[in-house]
Structure 1
Amino acid sequence: MSIAHYESFLLNNVSTISTLESSLRSLTWFLPGRFKDAELASETLSASLNMMSMYHDTLLARIVQSDPKYRPLIPFSLHTRFTRAWADKNSRYKWAARMLETIRFTELVIEMGLRRKVSAKNRYRGIIILELIKAILRFILLRITRRPLISPPIPERDIDPTTLPSSTETSPTLAPSSPPSSLPETPDHLKNNRVPLPQHTPLAVPPPPRSDIGIEEYLLPKALTTASVKPPLSLVRSYSSPQEWLSEVVYILRPLVYATLLFSDRKSNRPLITILAMELVSRSLRRNVPPSATLERSEYAKRDRDMLWYLFRGTIWESYTR
């Protein structure tokens, strides 16, 4: 019942979503170092905020879908179109993606709790279980889509809550989130006033600045691309060869293999070298993506950038980066 009241409050005051989230997010900056286990409390609050943001995104999507007249000021991104299409098409994809994001939001809190409460051996066992669950969920997504996994697998927020129309019902404690539709009537003593006021110089609208940009350079960013007119499910091409499948399978298994090797051997370089080799193997088996596949190219570029984090791991950090 309380969840229904909370949803009703947000649906009637959609502009308060950003205010609520930013207020809670600011608390995470002040908690660390304030008291014992403040870091754990701050990370717990941050994880809860991420979970709440994911829940708010579902409410915002519900508002957009219920209003056929709504048109966003900025078109939805390719990532949002692709992930939302799969979430609407397949319920298993939707719940597997949400579970995967839930684990991603809370895994650091779980690891911090395990570090404080259990032994190192049991802590690594818990981490292996987390990575095993994540790998299973990723394989479920891979089986459903038969395409490279897009990160994150759920739609990102491309909607400004303040631009959404609120419900006709308003909260008794807050002012309505949108201004009244009709302007107040003109007073009687001003209705016959036909004398225009002289235009004051500071209030005059300055002429638009002249630009030296050519017409083609101005219109090119506004032109539609092939990805803009493609169906959402066709933005990423499905796998067609065993080599492409093997590349994605190796990429999915990396974290699980790393956690398993750390459980048995935490002092040598073998875990780090193994997953770095798996990363390079997955990259070498990756298919060549045409320039028109914008979403898939951006995902692969993100994976390549993530390889820089190896400079801050293990012996690479201790002997080289630092």
Structure 2
Amino acid sequence: MSSALARYEDFLVKNVSTISSVESTLKSITWLLPGRFKDAELASEALSALLNVTSLYHDTLLARIAQNDPKRKPILPLPLHTKYTRAWCEKDRIYKWAARIFELVRFTQLLIEMGMRRKFSEKNRWRGIVVIESIKVILRLVMLRITRRPLVSPAIPERYFDPASLPPSSIHSSPTLVPTTPPASPPATPDHLKNNHVPLQPSSLMLSPPPPGRSDSSIEDYLLPKALTTSSVRPSLQLVAPLASIQDWLAEVIYVARPLIYVSMLSTSRHKDRALLTALGIDILSRNLRRAPSCSASVEGDEYARRDRDLVWYLFRGSAWELYTRPKLESLVEKAAHVPGLSLISAVVKDWVPLIDEYYYYTAL
């Protein structure tokens, strides 16, 4: 078994660009499958879950290879989210496995719900969803207890270099990695630089002033976001400050418990009408209780910005979806169906609308 795994890893390293392209193509196809044939949504989600799980393994493998090679180091600094989550995965083994299991559950939760809907009654399906959400809450509380900091999403390091940029023959010639020691002999001078004794005459484009309305600061605008900041040189575990007060802890705990409360109310028919308002109220309460991140706390600020954007998903849940969003969307789809160029998008959206009614995890909290 170990030899087969080693051969697969070697095949991945030698064909990483092709595999990355195949993954991207298949993920795009999953958006077009629903509505094409019977149980197409099940096939689409099974393929999506498989791709997400294998991508997680591939990312972990490629990151380990790049990190363990003593002759290589990345040219560009790691993204702060990757730097932070990787530091916790390396520091605490329990956090690493809790984060990985959480992501695996998140990748497969919709597929599990589809299976339960076909095999179990509606009541047992909701019980299964409550169990899934309970597992996720437990895992997130474990990570919260270990880090004592606001949770970030995803909880594991994201891919921080593009495998498509790696040559197919070997990962060791990756343009994102450079040797830590200089080569034995200096590289040869390119042909176009050998005869460089004649000064270059300035071009008219260089002498003419920029057109009116065009700013001279375009280069600065491009470079400033890539400049080092205080967060770039800060120790990895200090990129997110610990929760300092009871109010900070309360805000994070109720945010973590919110999906379980929402699902528990949905599973009981007498509370379905109040479930959406209760979840929205908990979300707003958590938002008002949480601390305001400093300007230098970019990881925490990005996480809170993502949570604020997720409030839009309330328009696709419960009575807000049934009474407002779905009629508007269906009307827009009908109008777009007769417009050349938009008919294909209209057909895809039309096939996805019934799935939001049938499955919880398409618009899960």
Using the TM superposition, give the Cα deviation of residue 159 of structure 1 relative to its aligned residue in structure 2, in angstroms: 0.8
The answer on 1:254 being equivalent to 2:266 is no
Q: Which runs of 5+ in 1 are unaligned?
A: 171-175, 179-195, 197-204
Question: Which of residues 12, 31, 34 is equivalent to 1:32?
Answer: 34
For the 8 Å contact 1:15–1:177, the answer to whether it is kept is: no
Instruction: Name whichever of 258-267 and 119-128 sits farther off.
Output: 258-267
Question: Which of residues 278, 298, 301 is equivalent to 1:297?
Answer: 301
Q: 1: distance between equivalents of 2:174 and 2:79? A: 26
1:148 matched residue in structure 2: 150
Aligned-partner residue type, residue 85 of structure 1: A
1:168 to 1:309, Cα distance in 2 relative to 1, 3 A: closer
Using the TM superposition, give the Cα deviation of residue 164 of structure 1 relative to its aligned residue in structure 2, in angstroms: 4.1
* CA deviation profile, 1:258-307 (whole Å, cap 9, x unmatched): 11111112674211111111111111110121111111011011101111
Could you say what the CA RMSD is over the residues aligned between the two structures, in angstroms?
2.9
1:95 matched residue in structure 2: 97
Q: 2: distance between equivalents of 1:18 and 1:116? A: 33
Q: 2: distance between equivalents of 1:140 and 1:305? A: 25
Using the TM superposition, give the Cα deviation of residue 167 of structure 1 relative to its aligned residue in structure 2, in angstroms: 7.2
Aligned-partner residue type, residue 80 of structure 1: T
Instruction: Name whichever of 100-109 and 62-71 sits farther off.
Output: 62-71
1:27 to 1:305, Cα distance in 2 relative to 1, 3 A: closer
1:247 to 1:65, Cα distance in 2 relative to 1, 3 A: same
The answer on 1:213 being equivalent to 2:206 is no
For the 8 Å contact 1:226–1:292, the answer to whether it is kept is: yes
Q: Which structure 2 residues correspond to residues 1-322 of structure 1 after superposition, within 5 A?
A: 1=1, 2-29=4-31, 31-164=33-166, 212-214=215-217, 220-265=224-269, 268-321=272-325, 322=328
Instruction: Name whichever of 213-222 and 155-164 sits farther off.
Output: 213-222
* CA deviation profile, 1:152-210 (whole Å, cap 9, x unmatched): 0011112111444777699xxxxx999xxxxxxxxxxxxxxxxx9xxxxxxxx997797
Instruction: Name whichever of 21-30 and 127-136 sits farther off.
Output: 21-30
* CA deviation profile, 1:217-257 (whole Å, cap 9, x unmatched): 56533432111110111000001111111111100001101
For the 8 Å contact 1:33–1:39, the answer to whether it is kept is: yes
1:249 to 1:20, Cα distance in 2 relative to 1, 3 A: same
For the 8 Å contact 1:13–1:177, the answer to whether it is kept is: no
For the 8 Å contact 1:18–1:161, the answer to whether it is kept is: yes
1:280 to 1:26, Cα distance in 2 relative to 1, 3 A: closer
* CA deviation profile, 1:104-162 (whole Å, cap 9, x unmatched): 11101111111111110000000000000000000000011000000000111121114
Q: 2: distance between equivalents of 1:311 and 1:20? A: 34
Q: 1: distance between equivalents of 2:113 and 2:209? A: 57
Q: 2: distance between equivalents of 1:316 and 1:256? A: 20
Q: 1: distance between equivalents of 2:216 and 2:135? A: 53
1:74 to 1:260, Cα distance in 2 relative to 1, 3 A: same
Q: Which runs of 5+ in 2 are unaligned?
A: 176-194, 196-202, 329-365
Identity score, percent: 58
Choose between structure 1 and 2: higher helix proportion.
Answer: 2
Using the TM superposition, give the Cα deviation of residue 97 of structure 1 relative to its aligned residue in structure 2, in angstroms: 0.5
For the 8 Å contact 1:14–1:177, the answer to whether it is kept is: no
Using the TM superposition, give the Cα deviation of residue 42 of structure 1 relative to its aligned residue in structure 2, in angstroms: 1.0
Aligned-partner residue type, residue 321 of structure 2: W
1:317 to 1:28, Cα distance in 2 relative to 1, 3 A: closer
1:219 to 1:140, Cα distance in 2 relative to 1, 3 A: same
Q: 2: distance between equivalents of 1:222 and 1:106? A: 36
Using the TM superposition, give the Cα deviation of residue 319 of structure 1 relative to its aligned residue in structure 2, in angstroms: 3.0
* TM, length-normalised to structure 2: 0.73
Q: 1: distance between equivalents of 2:81 and 2:226? A: 19
What SS does structure 2 have at the residue aligned with 1:269? helix
